[in-house]
């Protein structure tokens, strides 16, 4: 009887252990208890900290930017050669992607939501890859969260590790890298807005704060950008590694998703607000004019259809016409 009780206890324990492991794999280990309180940059730093890099892993700089060799630390490959994804004749930028089978259905849903979010405010359209695609993003659960900057050619890995990387904002962050964007604190005019305190930076991590000859798309420095790291990023003593100037009390590095300026510079870089159908269209009943317009308070709304009768030369935010039909940019 004692043996039977021990056997039953052992079987029960094994069953509970198996259920625990199954739940961990099914639900995904990406949801830490305090994750809702952390910014994208904090989530990325935590996910990529203390990782043991293998010989097969790419070199990482600035925490999550993949580079092919040490030589690329001193020259941004995206600004030294063309790295944008091409625009189609319909004005859309189609970026092929493939999600590997590392992920559960719930995890794939998080990734897909991040991919699809770009279509709501830009001309970027992530679409499933085809056999005929020469360049595509391979979204995989590798060693941490990382992406190369811009289109590299061929298969291009975007790593979203199941443990720590699967959040809406981190997906957007890595996709922005793949579209050609660097971190906010490395942009060319950084010193006018951020003071870097190298004395607080971990030894060997100083390169994470190098400036790049970035194309800032006419947008202001954005403390709320999803690409701006938090104030103690790469700190060796939990003291700030960056301080806003001239006002040191400005909050920064707290973004949990793309900011308005993130969206504006993406639309500017890819010329999403240049409508490919700017001409007069004649139909049976009326003439329709398609033109470009941006409403200042909103993300760029590029293309509108307006009937000739209600067309005005200048529209302000308050002059939205009742028969406007928004066309997806």
Burial grade of 302 (CB within 10 A; 0-12, 13-18, 19 or more): buried
Would you call 325 helix, strand, or coil by DSSP?
A: strand
| CB hemisphere CA count around 314 (13 angstroms) | 1
Do residues 183 and 227 touch, judged by C-beta distance below 8 A? Answer: yes
Q: Look up residue 172 and give its two tokens.
A: 């957007």
Burial grade of 242 (CB within 10 A; 0-12, 13-18, 19 or more): buried
Distances (CA, A) of 119 to 67, 112, 122, 124, 300: 28, 12, 5, 6, 12
- The crossing angle, in degrees rounded to 10, of helices 168-179 and 260-269 is 30
Q: Is 230 annotated as a binding residue?
A: no
Q: Is 279 annotated as a binding residue?
A: no
Cα 301 to Cα 282: distance, rounded to the nearest angstrom? 23
Decide if 174 is catalytic.
yes
Of 174, 206, 257, 294, the catalytic one is 174
Give the H/E segment covering residue 3.
helix 2-27
What is the phi-psi region of residue 134: left when phi exceeds 0, alpha when psi lies from -120 to 50, beta otherwise? alpha
> What is the widest separation between alpha-carbon atoms in the chain?
92
Q: Is 289 annotated as a binding residue?
A: no
Sequence ranges of the binding site = 173, 177, 183
Sequence ranges of the binding site for Zn(2+) = 173, 177, 183
Active-site residue list: 174
């Amino acid at each position: 009887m004692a043996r039977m009780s021990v056997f039953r206890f052992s079987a029960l324990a094994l069953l509970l252990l198996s259920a625990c492991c199954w739940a961990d794999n099914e639900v995904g280990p990406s949801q830490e208890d305090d994750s809702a309180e952390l910014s994208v940059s904090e989530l990325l730093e935590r996910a990529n900290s203390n990782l043991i890099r293998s010989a097969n892993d790419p070199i990482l700089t600035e925490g999550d930017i993949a580079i092919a060799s040490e030589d690329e630390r001193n020259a941004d490959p995206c600004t030294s050669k063309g790295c944008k994804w091409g625009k189609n004749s319909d004005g859309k930028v189609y970026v092929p992607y493939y999600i590997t089978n590392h992920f559960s259905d719930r995890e794939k849903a998080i990734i897909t939501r991040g991919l699809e979010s770009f279509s709501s405010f830009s001309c970027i359209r992530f679409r499933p890859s085809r056999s005929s695609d020469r360049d595509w993003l391979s979204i995989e659960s590798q060693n941490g969260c990382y992406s190369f900057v811009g289109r590299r050619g061929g298969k291009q890995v975007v790593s979203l590790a199941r443990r720590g990387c699967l959040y809406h904002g981190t997906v957007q962050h890595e996709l922005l890298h793949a579209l050609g964007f660097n971190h906010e604190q490395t942009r060319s005019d950084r010193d006018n807005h951020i003071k870097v305190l190298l004395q607080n930076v971990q030894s060997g991590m100083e390169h994470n704060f190098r400036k790049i000859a970035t194309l800032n798309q006419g947008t202001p420095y954005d403390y709320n950008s999803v690409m701006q790291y938090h104030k103690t990023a790469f700190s060796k003593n939990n003291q700030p590694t960056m301080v806003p100037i001239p006002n040191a009390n400005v909050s920064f590095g707290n973004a949990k998703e793309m900011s308005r300026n993130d969206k504006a510079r993406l639309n500017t870089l890819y010329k999403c607000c240049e409508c490919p159908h700017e001409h007069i269209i004649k139909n049976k009943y009326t003439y329709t004019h398609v033109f470009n317009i941006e409403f200042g308070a909103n993300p760029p709304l590029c293309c509108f259809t307006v009937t000739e009768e209600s067309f005005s030369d200048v529209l302000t935010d308050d002059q939205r016409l009742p028969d406007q039909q928004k066309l997806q940019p």
